[in-house]
Structure 1
Amino acid sequence: MTVTDPSTLTPSSGTTASVVAVHASAVHGFSKPALDQVVLVEGVGVEGDAHAGVTVQHRSRVAADPSQPNLRQVHLIHGELFDRLAAAGHDVAPGDLGENFTTRGIDLLALPVGTRLTIGDAVVTVTGLRNPCQQINDFQPGLLKQLLHRGADGEVERLAGVMGIVSRGGTVRPGDAVDVELPAPPHLPLTRV
């Protein structure tokens, strides 16, 4: 399967995609506090974040095989998701789901694998979808079914954001623009990483 309409992947005319909040935490918790800025380290992730590393840092992945490359160095969620969750009766704010960046104005879930996002002076290459887990229901009962369900076509939809690796280090702050560079075709859809 390929992504068929790359024109839908970038902000619509007259809008600008941007970062609305940045988050990091040195401990393996669920939510992450908002910060004034974060520093991305090439090939590692967000400086000082528990999920930064060349190899996997997520506890379940470490338990399975600690030598795996870390394709989940950076977690991004589109802020529009919080609007959708509010309409379904959930109160979720930026950082609550453990993302490093909350964005607005870009459909992150529609990006193909290998998309390069220039954010501030850093570059994040999108690797795949976050796979929502039971911790989301522990945070707020019933929330998981809003982020992981079957679409009209029967396929599993994962709505909890995208993951990426740091391809160029730099500093990212709220208000920074997000510029999208699509990979060469064919555009492959994101799958869980």
Structure 2
Amino acid sequence: MAKVVAINISQKKGEKKIPVEKAVFIENFGIEGDAHAGDWHRQVSLLAEESADKIRAAGMPEIKEGDFAENITTHGIEVSKLPIGTKLRIGETIQEVTQIGKECHQHCAIYHQVGDCVMPREGIFTKVLKGGVVAAGDSIEVID
């Protein structure tokens, strides 16, 4: 079963996100209190724990949730394989996949240390279609 490992937020763009127990997701906006929230297509970012495990295995075992600046760390679902337009029920919310990966303008500290970063290739972005609360441990379900 796919699930939420962690919810992560930050006050400013360009910094690691800090795990929180739960967060309020606002329709057509994103996560309350997160720097990336707003009226655009990249309201929420997701990265699979399995993707982060690749970097851990490459020499950074200390990597933790939020270090890739992802809002939701997932487990049990290959988020990078979901087509754009896929709808997900995550906790009380419904979100739609709007972008797979992103351009990496300035290589992060992780890239400089191990020579790779998975977020630009395997991270995804969603838009919040139906708001609600999401907490660590909540299930993630692909819906039609």
Q: TM-score w.r.t. structure 1 length?
A: 0.68
2:19 maps to 34
Q: Which has the larger radius of gyration?
A: 1
Q: Does 1:145 align with 2:116?
A: yes
Using the TM superposition, give the Cα deviation of residue 145 of structure 1 relative to its aligned residue in structure 2, in angstroms.
2.9
Q: How many pairs align?
A: 143
Match of 1:94 in 2: 65
Alignment correspondent of 2:4: 19
Sort the Cα spacing of 1:89 and 1:124 in 2 relative to 1 into closer, same or farther, 3 A. Answer: same
Match of 1:43 in 2: 28
Please say if residues 136 and 143 of structure 1, whose CA atoms lie closer than 8 Å, have aligned partners that are also in contact.
Answer: no
Give the 3-state SS of the residue equivalent to 1:166 in structure 2: strand
1:176 partner SS: coil
Check the 8 A contact 2:4/2:73 in 1, yes or no: yes
Distance in 1 between the 2:85 and 2:74 partners?
18
Say yes or no: does 1:77 pair with 2:47. yes
1:113 aligns with 2:113: no
d(CA) in 2 for partners of 1:35 and 1:147? 22
Distance change in 2, residues 1:36/1:141 (3 Å): same
Larger mean CA deviation between 84-93 and 17-26 belongs to 84-93
Q: Which is richer in strand?
A: 2
Deviations 1:77-119 (A, max 9, x none): 0000121111111232110011110000001011111111101
- Asked if structure 2 preserves the Cα contact closer than 8 Å seen for 1:137 and 1:144, the reply is no
Deviates more, 1:138-147 or 1:127-136: 138-147
Structure 2 SS opposite 1:82: helix
Secondary structure class of the residue paired with 1:97: coil
1:51 aligned counterpart, secondary structure: coil
- Percent identity of paired positions between Structure 1 and Structure 2: 38
RMSD over equivalenced CA pairs, Å: 1.9
C-alpha distance 72-143 of structure 1, shift in aligned 2 (>3 A)? farther
